[in-house]
Amino acid sequence: MAFSNDQLQRYSRHIILKEVGAKGQRKLLDGKVLIIGAGGLGAPAALYLAAAGIGEIGICDADEVDLSNLQRQVIHSTNDIGKSKVQSAKESMEAINPEIKVNAIHAWVDSANIMKLIEPYDFIIDGTDNFPAKFLINDACAIAGKAFSHAGIIRFQGQLMTYVPGQGPCYRCIFQNPPPPDAVPTCRQAGVIGAMGGVIGSLQAMEAVKFLLGKGSLLTGQLLTYDALKMEFRKIKLPKRESCPVCGANPTILAPIDYDQAVCEVKQ
Amino acid sequence: MDIEIDESVDITNVVCPVTFVKAKVALEELEEGQVLSIRMNDGEPVQNVPRSIKDEGHKILRLLDNKDGTYSLIVRKAGE
């Protein structure tokens, strides 16, 4: 299908790039990305991916927009307070780019729904704020053979890693089990600089775009850490663990698991 | 003219950078070695579009003055 003049104009800064071109933009328009969490990480990721013309974007969250979200969750506005985050996100994304399809999924991910949720998508973005969800997403993607971007942010720090089946470790290769509930504070308790979500969530969007284009090197086998106070980015090389119970040679985790969340995180 | 044109594209109805973008997209749809005729306005497009196309590695064969304020740039597509 030929590009309209409007599409050529909208995506001109992509198409001009040698690594993208019309073919690459077509790949983006044909791409499907699922963003789990419409918060600090999901907000910038969703905005950039919508603007980039990712043809179908799922955004999954069961929360409503709260005043305390607005310091970092730039996809939501003051007028959206009380509205479901996925509805608010969908409206912002469609306002930027009406030609993409946004699937607003008003739910928490759990072991019962995650396999079905990720199934239609090419790439998954973990924009969640708790360990049970991170392990759930990792295990589901490893089992289903889906590429995904892991990220976490707290205070002035962020981290990021990309999992591609067969290329480097999964999240569980590195962090074998979730910490005990409440052993580690979430950003609700610990705080986070709003721009941290912008930095790390935008890097997640960049990984999704590169994955769909098939260009460049992804952050596989490496954990990128960002310390904003020291203004330091570090890349830590990490091997795949053959004994990993989900992506190793003899997996024992064959279905996603629900872990308990810290009490203050339990959703109503 | 002794050059066989395989495809034509008109970029007189768009402005920079869509001029080059539209020409680039038309070239991407051709096979290596095929020839594209690009009709463009005098002025900025004539100054910039041929240079950008050359930078992509394609071969500029001719620039024909259509005597109506437009030019036709004849380009042979290079391999990827």
Give the confidence band of A266 by pLDDT, cuts at 50, 70, 90.
very low
pLDDT score of A189:
74
Answer whether A20 touches B (CB < 8 Å): no
> Is residue A31 predicted with pLDDT exceeding 50?
yes
A22 at the B interface (CB within 8 A)? yes
**pLDDT the model gives residue A262:** 65
Q: What percent of chain A has pLDDT over 90?
A: 90
In a domain, B59, yes or no: yes
The pLDDT value given to residue A163: 98
The verdict on residue B52 lying in a domain is: yes
Residues A195-231: pLDDT tens digits?
Answer: 999 999 999 999 999 999 999 999 999 999 999 999 9
Interface touch A21/B18, C-beta < 8 Å:
no
Place A1 in a pLDDT band, splitting at 50, 70 and 90.
low
In a domain, B2, yes or no: no
Closest of A256, A233, A238, A236 to residue A246, by C-alpha: A256
State which residues of chain B have pLDDT below 50: none
Q: Do B24 and A3 touch (CB under 8 A)?
A: no
Does B71 or A265 have the greater pLDDT score? B71
* Closest Cα in chain A, distance from residue B79 (Å): 13
**Residues of B whose CB is below 8 A from A12:** 17-18, 21
Task: Name, in order, each residue with C-beta under 8 angstroms of B72's C-beta and a sequence gap of 6 or more.
Answer: B37, B38, B39, B40, B62, B63, B64, B66
Chain A residue with minimal CA distance to B13? A5
**Predicted local distance difference test score (pLDDT) of residue A268:** 38
CATH topology of domain A8-265: Rossmann fold (3.40.50)
Euclidean distance between CA atoms A61 and A87, whole angstroms? 10
Which chain B residues contact residue A18 at CB under 8 A?
56
User: Is 60 exceeded by the pLDDT of residue A267?
Assistant: no
Helix (H, G, I), strand (E, B) or coil at B60: strand
Least confident of A2-6, A18-22, A60-64, A263-267: A263-267
CB contact under 8 A, B29 and A16: no
Average pLDDT over residues A27-54: 98
ipTM above 0.90, yes or no: no
A chain contacts of residue B17, beta-carbon cutoff 8 Å: 12-13, 16
Residue B28 located in a structural domain = yes
Shortest CA gap A12–chain B (Å): 6
Are the beta carbons of B22 and A23 separated by less than 8 Å? Answer: no
Q: What is the mean pLDDT of residues A234-241?
A: 96
Name the residue ranges covered by the structural domains of chain A.
Answer: 8-265
Closest partner residue to B25 (CB to CB) among A13, A15, A18 is A15
**Domain range spanning residue B34?**
7-76
CB-based burial, A194-206: b 16+ in 10 Å, e otherwise: ebbbbbbbebbbb
Strands (DSSP E) contained in chain A are 32-36, 56-60, 101-105, 123-126, 147-154, 157-163, 222-227, 232-237
Give the distance, in angstroms, between the CA of residue A75 and the centroid of all CA atoms in the same chain. 14
* CATH code where residue B21 lies: 3.30.110.40
What is the model's pLDDT at position B69? 95
pTM summary value: 0.92
Q: Which residue of A has its CA nearest to B10?
A: A5
